[in-house]
Amino acid sequence: MPNKLPQPPHDPSREWGLADIVAGLRASREELHRTRHPLGIRELPSRDAIIKIVNGLRSALFPTHYGAPDLTDESVDYYVGNTLESTLRLLHEQMRRALRFLPEHRDTSDAELSKRAFDIAREFGAQLPGIRALLVSDIQAAFTGDPAAQHITEILLCYPGVWAMTHHRLAHALHRLGVPLLARFINEIAHSATGIDIHPGANIGPSFFIDHGTGVVIGETAIIGERVRVYQAVTLGAKSFPSGSDGALVKGNARHPVVEDDVVIYAGATILGRVTIGRGSVIGGNVWLTHSVPPGSNVSQGKVREGSRTEPPDNGHVYGA
């Protein structure tokens, strides 16, 4: 038998003190700073699985751009069907996990929850042609609105705004179907990749174009009409956050802007509160706006003169504050 290697002498000063660390973490987890579901450990949705779901859905929606490289006219429908079958099956499982976190499903049986998840996944699948139509309108808006765009393939493969809107269109459908956790997960994956932060509850009409995109923030209750274009670092946010008698913030209030059709919002503009930007308006770069403007407005920064006085408009424009 081979000789055993000599062991170094035991040195208590080099121990990790794991027993104390584990006990402290348990006290934090179970007593002092609980973050666990009230009914105990629950299966969490998997980020890796959700990424696979979005990739599968994207491939089914635009198979010649995101799908298999060797598709033909004869094989494309088979590819789409096979991809959807496996993707929706994976979505069903992630939905089942996500639904358990809703208060109304805390006591639902596993069998009922699985059936509910399947029904929602099937309804979601039925909405995919409509979602694709919206995405095509966004792609066409990008092609029309960006003089640097050479062709549709460039937009599909390279434009972060279209990438973010693909996630948002899918997430918004799930949000409306009653699976907010999965919806938020999908949009946060796009946020991490693009720097574009859109809450899945935001209601965005067709032909929406985000040019460049980094730093765009669109809040939960924002409503955006048709043919709207925004540039990088635009914020459609809330002005205030009312709280209830217990001090907790009130959820679900309409607190974000309404942007009507054919509006353009340039880089760095911040629009806060439940205000309305009228149809056909142009909001200039770096404007800070907290009040509604009528249709056809042209809002830009005030001109600062000596004594830090803001001059009134001299060209018929409405100036934001």
Dump pLDDT digits (tens) for 217-227: 999 999 999 99
Range of lowest pLDDT (136-150, 287-301, 307-321): 307-321
Q: How far, in Å, are 38, 88, 94, 122 from residue 198 at the CA level?
A: 29, 24, 21, 25
Q: Is the predicted pLDDT of residue 308 greater than 60, yes or no?
A: no
Q: What is the Cα–Cα distance from 280 to 294, expressed in whole angstroms?
A: 9
Domains 40-196 and 202-321 share a fold: no
pLDDT higher than threshold 80 for residue 134: yes
- Identify any residues that bridge with 283 across adjacent strands, giving them in sequence order: 265, 299
Comparing 160-164, 252-256, 284-288, the range with the smallest average pLDDT is: 252-256
Q: Where are the domains of the chain?
A: 40-196, 202-321
Residue-level pLDDT at 307: 47
| 245 has a pLDDT exceeding 50 | yes
CA atoms within a 13 Å half-sphere pointing along the CA-CB vector of 229: 18
Indicate the pTM of the whole model: 0.85
Alpha-carbon span 212 to 233, nearest angstrom: 9
- Rounded distance between C-alpha atoms, residue 177 and residue 98, angstroms: 12
What pLDDT is stored for residue 38 in this prediction? Answer: 58
So what's the pLDDT on residue 13?
65
What's the pLDDT score for residue 227?
98
Strands (E), 19-68: none
Write the class of the CATH domain 40-196. mainly alpha
Please state, rounded to an integer, the average pLDDT across all residues of the chain.
89
Cα 249 to Cα 239: distance, rounded to the nearest angstrom = 13
Q: Which CATH superfamily does the domain covering 202-321 fall into?
A: Hexapeptide repeat proteins (2.160.10.10)
Classify 58 as helix, strand or coil: helix
